Amino acid sequence: MGGAAALAASSFAEQSAATKLPASDQVNLAIIGPGSRGQQLMRTFLRVPGVRFGALCDIYEPRWGQARKITGENTRALKDYHELLTAKDIDAVIVSTPLSLHSEHVTAALDSGHHVYGEKSMALTVEECGQMLQAVKKSGRHYQIGLQYHYAPWYREAIRLINSGKIGQVTQIYAYWHRNNSWRRPVPNNDPKLERLINWRLYREFSGGLVAELGSHHINFANEVFGAIPESVVGSGGVDFWKDGRETADNVQVTYRYPGGKTLFFSAITTNRFVGCQVQVCGTGGSIVLTEADGTYYYEPNTGASAVPEGLAVEHGVVTGASYRAELPYRGQGRPLTVPAGTQGNPDFLACNSFIDSIRNNRRPKADEQVAWNCGVTVAMGNYAIDHEARVKFADHVRV
């Protein structure tokens, strides 16, 4: 590929990210919680020019070595995040701790004058989400929620098509994240003392379970498509298969009702991966299916009435016979969503690069605190509905 062609084929965000920067533009990051997701964020942030990690914090010391391996240097490592937040040379903090700690860690980082990239979901409860929203507004710092698919080029293209009316009126979204594994991480030497630390996602004290860890991406997308948070939710779920001492459900189903009766159904299971991770957007004029890697548009057969000459049906009459037309699912290929030239790239990279751009140029992140709050309270209400096995009205719990 020649230089000009390469220029056209690479994304504008990628190109601006690739440009060499003067040392004065260096952004010093710190991370609280460099576990598996935190480490992936570290790798991705280090692909943005001028980014360096000045400190890291984790109560589990083996993470220090793993994180230093990623930075390639002897990065300052701490157990106490308060100490990390007093460091003078840190511009922004990545919070990638268990969900129940997001509120404490993000608020402390904002209060100490740092910009924050906070992993999703925003917080464990509706109340904490509200407190964090206020904390961001009060701080005047930038806060970006780690919903990387908000930056995925094929998701952006889907939103553009939906907003242009390409698939008519979107009435339903069916979203799935189906896996066939225990959702457990190996605990070194089966040390029971480490179980909750490593497998925090499985324990209610720390985690919002499958709705928070997997569903939040789909929920954020539905909130954007419907332009609102839901009005109500019903939910079900339980520990029905992996009876290994876990507390968060191994299967969940939540149905959110948005204004105008628009609906999001989300399902996550851990016993079958036939469906995998996908979002089906159902419009009156077509459908869009989104996966972790791409998107596909499907046309909707015309269901409107057609005028016909009376001679055909009335004068001639209709013929009777044994017949039944099965309503089989559509089995065609669909048309792949084409990401516009200059917009492609890895969602994680685009999200991380956008955050650094927000810091350098004082730009509000696209996935800002309002996006985070919208998603966070929707997740929390979904879990509330599952816990109470009831239809729950947002108005009774969420103050907009």
Q: Which helix (H) or strand (E) covers residue 283, if one does?
A: strand 277-283
Which range touches another protein (CB under 8 A), out of 3-11, 135-143, 361-369, 374-382? 3-11
Determine which residue in the list 74, 189, 323, 362 makes contact with another protein, applying CB under 8 A: 189
In the block, residue with structure tokens 């379970």 = 209
Determine which residue in the list 27, 32, 34, 71 makes contact with another protein, applying CB under 8 A: 71
**Percentages (nearest 5) of helix, strand, coil residues in the chain:** 40, 20, 40
SS3 category, 13: helix
Q: How far apart are CA 176 and CA 222, in angstroms?
A: 13
Strands 277-283 and 286-290, by their bridges, are: antiparallel
Q: Which is nearer to another protein, 165 or 340 (CB)?
A: 340
> In 10 A of CB 193, how many CB atoms?
7
DSSP lists the bridge partners of residue 233 as: 256, 392
- φ/ψ region of 195 (left if φ > 0, alpha if ψ in -120 to 50, else beta) reads alpha
Binders of another protein in range 24-53 (CB under 8 A): 40, 43-44, 46-50
The residue type found at 129 is C
Q: How far apart are CA 246 and CA 375, in angstroms?
A: 25
SS3 category, 359: helix
Determine which residue in the list 55, 56, 70, 124 makes contact with another protein, applying CB under 8 A: 70
Determine which residue in the list 26, 343, 346, 370 makes contact with another protein, applying CB under 8 A: 346
Helices (H) and strands (E) in the chain, counts: 14, 15
Which range touches another protein (CB under 8 A), out of 74-82, 176-184, 321-329, 363-371? 176-184
- Computed on alpha carbons and rounded to an integer, the radius of gyration of the chain in Å comes to 24
DSSP lists the bridge partners of residue 254 as: 235, 266
Binders of another protein in range 223-262 (CB under 8 A): 244
Determine which residue in the list 293, 305, 322, 326 makes contact with another protein, applying CB under 8 A: 293
Residue 200 binds another protein (CB under 8 A):
no
Determine which residue in the list 24, 164, 181, 333 makes contact with another protein, applying CB under 8 A: 181
Q: Which is nearer to another protein, 43 or 82 (CB)?
A: 43
Which range touches another protein (CB under 8 A), out of 4-12, 77-85, 167-175, 354-362? 4-12
**How many residues lie near another protein (CB under 8 A)?**
42
Residue 341 binds another protein (CB under 8 A):
no
**Minimal distance, residue 356 CB to another protein, in Å:** 11
Which range touches another protein (CB under 8 A), out of 103-111, 119-127, 161-169, 185-193? 185-193
Tokens of 13: 């965000």
- Sort 311 into a burial class: Cβ within 10 Å, 0-12 / 13-18 / 19+: exposed
Contact 173, 258 (CB under 8 A): no
CA dihedral 128, 292, 364, 42 (to 10 degrees): 80
Determine which residue in the list 33, 98, 345, 382 makes contact with another protein, applying CB under 8 A: 345
Residue 190 binds another protein (CB under 8 A):
yes
**Minimal distance, residue 158 CB to another protein, in Å:** 16
DSSP lists the bridge partners of residue 298 as: 287
Residue 74 binds another protein (CB under 8 A):
no
CA-based torsion, 82, 359, 70, 23: positive or negative = negative
Q: How far apart are CA 349 and CA 117, in angstroms?
A: 13
Determine which residue in the list 61, 74, 88, 186 makes contact with another protein, applying CB under 8 A: 186
Site string for another protein, 127-166 (x = CB under 8 A): ----------------------------------------
Determine which residue in the list 12, 15, 79, 340 makes contact with another protein, applying CB under 8 A: 15
Q: Which is nearer to another protein, 72 or 140 (CB)?
A: 72
Residue 20 binds another protein (CB under 8 A):
yes
Residue numbers at the binding site for another protein (CB under 8 A): 1-3, 6-7, 9-11, 14-15, 17-20, 40, 43-44, 46-50, 62, 70-72, 181-182, 184-190, 244, 293, 344-347, 349
